[in-house]
Amino acid sequence: MSDSVGETAEFVVRAASSQFNGGDAHIRRIPYVDDRKTIRETVEAAAEVGGMIAFTMVVTDLRKYLKEEAERHNVPVVDIMGPMLKGLSTLYGRSPKREPGLVRKLDEDYFRKVEAIEFAVKYDDGKDPRGLLRADVILIGVSRTSKTPLSMYLAHKRLKVANVPLVPEVEAPEELFRVPAERCIGLTIDPDQLNEIRRERLKSLGLTSRANYANMERILQELDYAEQVMKRIGCPILDVSNKAVEETANIILEMLRKGGGHA
């Protein structure tokens, strides 16, 4: 019996019974127990067949009622979670939450995060425009506006993020104009700061800072083109100048919560 899925109790019973009869035990799993009637009926069923009950319920009232009913019907019970909860309570110096299904919630949260990270990697830098239609949020902007680090940061918040670089010579993917505008965030930046960032990028690659990539005229051209695309989409626009990735990400999260807007 469990007030959640009951997988833990079943696994423990199978593992223990393998020490006696090769695991050949008839197990009936009773999940999501949240009322006394189910407990009473289960205890009566166990009494009829001479069975025992292993349980992982954490809600105090239900645990107490199960033990009382089992004793009244002379049905042996094994509290699988109790000793561990007691030990951890002593270790941590506080009481458990007594909330059913927390392990499952943690697992689901973990897998959602992994899925979001994999999504961000797969649809980084406009690799596959088809991902735009499945994204929770799309970041667009010229090169070096922190699209990739922002995508990864937001992925750790369990958001599926795609990002698309905007370059005048490359037509923006038509999928950008098919998604709701509020799901798209335009990133812009001060031209002088972008120039400095790009110069440093070229220097780290061992290239000359005179390359077109860091040319101010080119930068202004790119920013102008990006602004045209953003206005055509009608998406919120965020200036990332002098902002850390964490700060920008928090602003984006707030914008998404409010359903869009300019910042």
* pLDDT, tens digit (0-9, with 9 covering 90-100), for 225-263: 999 999 999 999 999 999 999 999 999 999 988 874 444
* pLDDT, tens digit (0-9, with 9 covering 90-100), for 109-121: 778 888 999 999 9
In sequence order, what are the residues at sequence separation of 6 or more whose Cβ sits closer than 8 angstroms to the Cβ of residue 235?
Answer: 140, 181, 182, 184, 185, 186, 260
Beta bridge partners of 226: none
Angstrom distance (rounded) from CA 122 to CA 139: 14
Binding-site positions for ADP read 141-148
Higher-pLDDT residue of 90, 210: 90
- Classified by CATH at the fold level, domain 106-258 comes out as Rossmann fold (3.40.50)
- Average pLDDT on 20-30 reads 79
Angstrom distance (rounded) from CA 215 to CA 193: 12
Binding-site positions read 141-148
Give the count of beta carbons closer than 10 Å to the beta carbon of residue 12.
15
Single pTM value for the model: 0.63
Give the SS3 label for residue 191: helix
Angstrom distance (rounded) from CA 90 to CA 95: 9
List the chain domain ranges.
Answer: 7-100, 106-258
Contact assessment for residue 154 and residue 238, using Cβ atoms and an 8 Å cutoff:
no
Give the count of beta carbons closer than 10 Å to the beta carbon of residue 149.
13
Q: Is the pLDDT of residue 25 over 90?
A: no
Contact assessment for residue 44 and residue 72, using Cβ atoms and an 8 Å cutoff:
no
* pLDDT, tens digit (0-9, with 9 covering 90-100), for 164-195: 999 999 999 999 999 999 999 999 999 999 99
